[in-house]
A and B are shown apart, each in its own frame.
Chain A
């Protein structure tokens, strides 16, 4: 399956082409180049997935394929960084997700970004992002993954800051880059610790389940935990940064400053699940050797999902609601991974997590694109400027409703199946956690329908332009994505992607299913009472006023960050370092410069231009060497 290399190279070619000659091309051509290459990528990915899942099964277990692996840098005797392509159920599934959503976003942007300044640049960056994301999931070793991981961060930065004349966009881009980069620092340290003790970067070796590889890492203790635990925890922090887990989630809501299709691609479907992908990729290590870290992951995920869901309820900007909803849903995936075991039916959580990753990518991309379609029409992100849009924008309305039902977990929409598996897995693990996650699911249904009713129901507002449905290039992706949103749940996911690679049949846990559906319906009912035909603005019960205020301020996490960085770091610690830098480090360099200067003036006479002098110095040099040799 060497042709998978093309999947990786096509977006790169498109990026180079558009990046180098972008401004000379017309909007139309550059859009076509970007979309055309992505269409090929998507077709190749589907073909590869089809071929992989039908042919690469030996003894009912999916095999790992490495069609390409080139040594790139040798570091010491055993350690080397390779560049290659890894195909296994996980990466093949990700290929499908990324290429589908990316293709839809490419098509959608033809309409959404029409006439924007920097259209070519936009498509160049989209290609760069797609290349990096595909490279990330196809990496054969953790270092290659890290390289693409950073590339993904850069392209996300570029796309968030696409409207670079807008100060808020620039600030958001910076924030996203710095926060994720901060997390990546831990990731890198984790990689270095891991590779130092295991002498390998290779995923194949790391995830083989062979304990001998980790012998040294387990036996080395540091601050009460083994080196392996430290390494895996640090690696998870990197994943938590990209996947916006509490308390590293602060960048994601601000990242909504980027163009809406970008939010759909990067901040809903692909990049933000990189952390989930990372944990899933290293899952055998987590589950077999560091179960305590995995438990931590479960609780971080559980807390984050509740935390974000509560905030989502009070947001008024529709993209922010979706952003917090994304954080919350990724929390679900993390919980599922955290509660999973390795073998057979105990590995339900792993399967459920990736199933949810898949369905979530589809319906969340749909939600974002739908929101983009609404924003495109009303020219505002705020709910108060919307209402009654269901007649003016029927396609957007119906597809949006499909996605809302999916995320709320109503059967037979795709979200129901994947979320139900996650809930079953959490109940098996711990009933308390199961109840907690069911509550979050209820909140999800509530805030999504609050959003839905506020946009599409209620009174129509006055608008400067007459409202109309979006162009075909924008409605086509909506309809296309509605298909997997509607039917994705019937994919036999257990047959394809499991922790131990052996397929197994999913059994419905009817009790869990009924409870979660009832809770979701109840939440939707309350939302419809409050927001479907609002007579007066919904009031907040007085007892909850303080809580409401705190939630609208996102529980002041940003303020805590600002306090820590501005007041403590910059003022206290940085000042001391600045003094040291200015006086000691710069002092040394300046001293060096002064000495160099002084010296170079003194020896200028050497270069006199006279041949006799040159010959003399030559001879003198020979003599000097003789003396040197004599005395050593």
Chain B
């Protein structure tokens, strides 16, 4: 294999890097006039990148196993791409205003850098590459969270994130060092072969997982989530809640299989308790939130618990349903965030009581929000119902009946708070609802896309089949 072929295998990373470098250059070189086109160019370029990396290739590895490729990775990367693209569509109007005009260049390439980090995490076959990916995904994210320079809350959230992120990385790295110490290698394939029930390796397993659990925000590693979600600019929050979380969940799943396959019993038991606690605690906190971003933060914690239901089943079906769940979750959550972002950027309101009577003035936005809430709650026939149904059946198939019952009971509880938002918009009387808002066409396109996906993805059976076909044999 020639040196060049190595790059060919990691073509998705190369293409993304090209986009990033081009945007960086554009931002530096372009004059005032040219910068007007910066956002459309960035979005279109990224869309092009998404399109060119749509078709899965044959599995392979590069650089002596540092980088590993499997067709299913194309699917998960595409899912992340689509999510990022929707977020870009939703954030264009934020940077059209005067306040953050100068920062738009940074926003795009920082976001894409974190995405590149996630790509590397997903495809790594070596701890070093994995760790580099992890940090590339986290550090620019902290900058993004602290993006609103004049907002104190944003700065606070950034600090919280970077400190806790460093803390978790430290623990994770500590775990990796134990693994290196006991096996003498950092390659996943070699490490996994030498994993036994050696106490040091068990500790490494625990530390390593703690670090990852932090990323997916399982309870009790979730405390940062709410504060950060609330403080960060809304489009960054949506990025955190879908892309960051989705990639972390996928990585967690693959690494549990690849590295700790021999600890199957241990991690299943562990996840069993974590799922119960995560879903329940996420729900309990979500019940009382008044701020809609904080509310979605807790909702996303409990959604992570549902994703873990697919991971715990440890089967090919589970794997498929996890990807499917993330796919559906992206559209539901981003539909909600698109509406929130549209409202926040015009009026600055982010509290649920502010949404009272929204239907009178903004029927379309209310309708999209309602669909998003229905889908997140898992009401048939929307996509969210299908994804929940599949993930429950994957877990039930492996005999985790108790877990499924707990999850179903929690779904009932979650109905209450999701419908609370719907009730506020449609039923609660309000003499002075928010004024009628106009969204820009980019954001509108994203909302239409999400709405269509919420309605139709559940009905298109071939999507699940396609994922299933590709995820075979990982």
A contacts, CB < 8 Å to B? 70-74, 589, 592-593, 596-597, 599-601, 603-604, 606-607, 609, 611, 613-615, 617-618, 620-622, 624-626, 628-629, 632
Tell me how far the C-beta of A296 lies from the nearest C-beta in chain B, rounded to whole angstroms: 36
Q: Mark B258-300, 1 if CB is under 8 A from A, else 0.
A: 0000000110011001000000010111011000000000000
Q: Give the chain B neighbours of A592 by CB distance below 8 A.
A: 409, 412-413
Contact indicator A617/B223 (Cβ below 8 Å): yes
Question: Contact: A603 with B281, CB < 8 Å?
Answer: yes
CB-defined contacts of B284 to chain A, threshold 8 Å: 596, 599-600, 603
22 A-B residue pairs with Cβ-Cβ distance under 8 Å, sorted by A, are A71-B462, A71-B465, A589-B412, A592-B409, A596-B283, A596-B284, A597-B287, A600-B285, A601-B288, A603-B281, A603-B284, A606-B223, A609-B227, A611-B159, A615-B163, A618-B171, A618-B223, A621-B213, A626-B203, A626-B206, A628-B269, A629-B206
B114 at the binding interface (Cβ < 8 Å):
no
Cβ 8 A contact of B461, one of A71, A593, A600 = A71
| Smallest CB gap from B460: residue in A | A72
Bound state CA distance, A589 and B219, in angstroms? 25
Chain B residue with Cβ nearest A618: B221
In-complex Cβ contact of B226 among A607, A624, A628 (8 A): A607
Known: A74-B461, A611-B163. 5 other contacts (CB 8 A): A589-B412, A596-B287, A621-B213, A624-B220, A628-B269
Given A74, A596, A629, which contacts B413 in the complex, CB threshold below 8 Å? A596
- Is B164's CB within 8 Å of the partner chain A? yes
Say if the beta carbon of B210 comes within 8 Å of chain A.
yes
Could you say which of A600, A611, A625, A632 contacts B288, with CB atoms under 8 Å apart? A600
A residues near B409, Cβ cutoff 8 Å: 592
Q: Which of B160, B210, B219, B288 has the most CB of A within 10 A?
A: B210
Smallest beta-carbon distance A607→chain B, Å:
6
Which residue of the partner chain B has the closest CB to A614? B223
Chain A hits for B273, CB < 8 A: 628
B397-432 interface with A by 8 A CB criterion: 409, 412-413, 416
What residues on B are CB-neighbors of A601 within 8 Å? Answer: 288
Which of chain B's residues has its CB closest to A602's CB?
Answer: B284
Q: Cβ of B202 < 8 Å from any Cβ of A?
A: yes
Are the C-beta atoms of A622 and B226 separated by less than 8 Å?
A: no
The distance in angstroms between the C-alpha atoms of A600 and B213, with both chains bound, is 23
CB distance from B400 to the nearest CB of A (A): 16
| Contact across chains for A625 and B413 when beta carbons are under 8 A apart | no
Give the top 3 A-B pairs by smallest Cβ distance, nearest first: A621-B220, A600-B284, A614-B223
Residues in chain B near residue A629, CB distance under 8 A:
202, 205-206, 266, 270
* Interface set, chain B 190-243, CB cutoff 8 A to A: 202-203, 205-207, 209-210, 213-214, 219-221, 223-224, 226-227
Contact B413 A618 (CB under 8 A): no
In the complex, what distance in Å separates the CA atom of A143 from the CA atom of B434? 47
**Does B167 belong to the interface (CB within 8 Å)?**
yes
Tell me which residues across on chain A come within 8 A of B209, comparing CB atoms: 625
Q: A597-B287, A624-B220, A632-B269 are in contact. Are A615 and B210 (CB under 8 A)?
A: no
Bound-state CA distance A526–B86 (Å) is: 76
Question: Closest residue to B203 on the A side, CB-wise?
Answer: A626
Q: Which residues of B contact A604 (CB under 8 A)?
A: 285, 288
Instruction: Known contacts A621-B221, A622-B210, A625-B210; decide if A614 and B269 are in contact (CB<8 Å).
Output: no
The number of residue pairs between A and B whose CB atoms lie closer than 8 Å in the complex comes to 88
The answer to whether B269 touches A618, judged by C-beta atoms less than 8 angstroms apart, is: no
Name the distance in Å between B409's Cβ and chain A's nearest Cβ.
7
Please give me the residue from chain A that is nearest to B164 by CB atom: A614
Contacts of B202 in A (CB 8 A): 629
- What is the bound-complex CA distance between A628 and B164, given in angstroms? 24
CB distance from A202 to the nearest CB of B (A): 16
Closest chain B residue, CB of each to CB of A71: B461
A429 to B24, CA, bound (A): 87
Instruction: List residues of chain B with CB within 8 A of the CB of A621.
Output: 210, 213, 219-221
Confirm or deny: B168 has a beta carbon within 8 angstroms of a beta carbon on chain A: yes
Residues of B within 8 A of A599 (CB): 284
B223 touches A600 (CB 8 A): no
- Per the bound structure, the CA–CA distance linking A614 and B462 in Å amounts to 43
Residues of chain A within 8 A (CB-CB) of B168 are: 618
CB closest chain-B residue, reference A615: B167
Give CA–CA (A626, B210) in the complex, Å: 10
A315 to B266, CA, bound (A): 77
Residues of chain A lying within 8 A (CB to CB) of residue B171 = 618, 622
B288 near A622: Cβ-Cβ < 8 Å: no
Bound-state CA distance A614–B166 (Å) is 13
Contacts of A625 in B (CB 8 A): 206, 209-210, 270
Complex Cα–Cα for A73 and B213 (A): 34
- Of A607, A609, A621, A626, which is in contact with the most chain B CB atoms at under 10 Å from its CB? A621
Q: Which residues of B sit under 8 angstroms from A607, Cβ to Cβ?
A: 223, 226-227, 285
Looking at the assembled complex, report how far the CB atom of B417 sits from the nearest CB atom of chain A, in whole angstroms.
10
Q: Tell me the complex Cα distance, A632–B266, Å.
A: 8
Closest CB of chain B to A247's CB: distance in Å? 33
Is A72 within 8 A of B220, CB to CB? no
- The CA-CA distance from A626 to B209 in the complex, in Å, is 11
Bound Cα distance from A606 to B225, whole angstroms = 13
Q: How far is the CB of B406 from chain A (nearest CB, A)?
A: 12
A61-B395 Cα distance, complex, nearest whole Å: 50
Closest chain-A Cβ to B142's Cβ sits at a distance in Å of: 13
* Complexed CA–CA distance, A613 and B207 (Å): 19
**How far, in Å, is B371 (CB) from chain A's closest CB?**
16
Docked Cα-Cα span, A107 to B222, in Å, equals 64
- For B213, the closest partner residue in chain A by CB is A621
The residue in B159, B223, B416 that gathers the most chain A C-beta atoms within 10 A of its C-beta is: B223
Contact A618 B214 (CB under 8 A): yes
Nearest-neighbour CB distance to chain B for A448, whole angstroms, equals 45
Chain B residue at minimum C-beta to C-beta distance from A597: B287
Q: Is the CB of A622 within 8 A of B269?
A: no
Q: Are the C-beta atoms of A611 and B269 separated by less than 8 Å? A: no
In the docked arrangement, what's the CA distance between A164 and B173, Å? 68
Instruction: Specify which chain A residues have a CB less than 8 angstroms from the CB of B226 in the assembled complex.
Output: 607
In the bound assembly, the distance between CA atoms of A603 and B210 in angstroms comes to 22
A600 touches B163 (CB 8 A): no
Q: Which of B159, B205, B220 contacts A618 (CB 8 A)?
A: B220
Chain A residue at smallest Cβ distance from B210: A622
**Measured between C-beta atoms, what is the minimum distance from A76 to chain B in Å?**
11
B258 to A: closest C-beta gap in Å: 19
CB distance from B447 to the nearest CB of A (A): 16
Docked-complex contact B287 and A600, CB < 8 angstroms? yes
CB <8 Å contact, B416 and A593: yes
Is B227 a contact of A620 with CB atoms below 8 Å?
no
Point out the residues of chain B lying under 8 angstroms from A613, CB to CB: 223
B254 to chain A, nearest CB (A): 20
Give the CA-CA distance A601 to B288 in the complex, in Å: 8
Contacts of B283 in A (CB 8 A): 596
**Contact assessment for A615 and B164 in the assembled complex, using a CB-CB cutoff below 8 Å:** yes
- Of all chain B residues, the one with the shortest Cβ separation from A612 is B163
Report whether B266 and A622 are in contact in the complex, using a CB–CB cutoff of 8 Å. no
Please report the C-alpha to C-alpha distance between residue A380 and residue B47 in the assembled complex, in whole angstroms: 63
What is the minimal beta-carbon distance from A602 to any residue of chain B, in angstroms?
Answer: 9
Kindly state the separation between the CA atoms of A596 and B214 in the bound complex, as whole angstroms: 25
Residues of B within 8 A of A620 (CB): 220
In the assembled complex, the Cα of A437 lies from the Cα of B90 at a distance in Å of 70
